[in-house]
Amino acid sequence: MTKNMKITKALNKYGMSNFKLFILEYTNADNLIKREQYWIDILKPEYNTNTVAGNTKGYIHTLETRLEIKEKALGRKATNETKEKMRLSRLGYKPSPTVIEKLKAKIYTAEHRANLSKALIGRVFTEEQLKKHTLLWTKLNGIKITIVDTHTKDIENFDSITLAANKLKATRSAIHSCMKKGTLFRKRYQITRNS
């Protein structure tokens, strides 16, 4: 609620103890607007500024409004408690295929990539976080590769460059570079991309 809303002003003036909140009826999402309108018509609530039931699902703000919202958010700092609540609210979140496609199609500017890279410097991931990131990356972008240890003749297959890099305690870019150039990694491992 914003400070200019009628209900907010009344709560501030009269105190929370002078108000009661009731659940009038339980219903499903398909019937929600119809039932909300029914109760608005019957009760004619004093603090409900909208006399017609509705919601903003699917509403797209104008560019002007989005810029205004962005301006208000600049410099706002979340408390540690708020950050923890946000973290907990996202646990188990799985992006939809549409979101994944949009993220894959997004093109970042050089400046944006530099800022992202800078933000990650010094960040330490737990083993669990690394495992989750690796599995997600593998699922989305995994390039299947084979590594041959030229000393022992052992052959290992990996579902992604990331998994191979973790095994060899190397960076993805180092693995990718050797695979691309056809050179031995650490003068020992032959890395090839599987078709």
pLDDT in the model for residue 86 = 87
CB distance 145 to 179 below 8 Å: yes
Query: CB neighbours of 172 closer than 8 A, spacing ≥ 6?
Result: 161, 162, 165
Distance in angstroms (rounded) separating the CA atoms of residues 191 and 148: 7
143: amino acid identity, one letter: I
pLDDT in the model for residue 155 = 94
Backbone angles phi, psi at 87, to 5 degrees: -60, -45
The domain locations on the chain are 6-67, 137-193
pLDDT in the model for residue 51 = 80
Whose structure tokens read 């994944």?
Answer: 100
185: amino acid identity, one letter: F
From first to last of its 195 residues, the chain has per-residue pLDDT tens of 555 578 888 888 888 888 888 888 998 888 888 998 898 889 888 877 678 888 776 678 888 888 888 888 888 888 899 888 888 888 878 888 888 888 877 778 889 888 888 888 887 888 888 888 777 766 666 788 899 999 999 999 988 887 888 889 999 889 989 988 999 999 999 999 886
pLDDT in the model for residue 76 = 83
Fold of 137-193: Arc Repressor Mutant, subunit A (1.10.10)
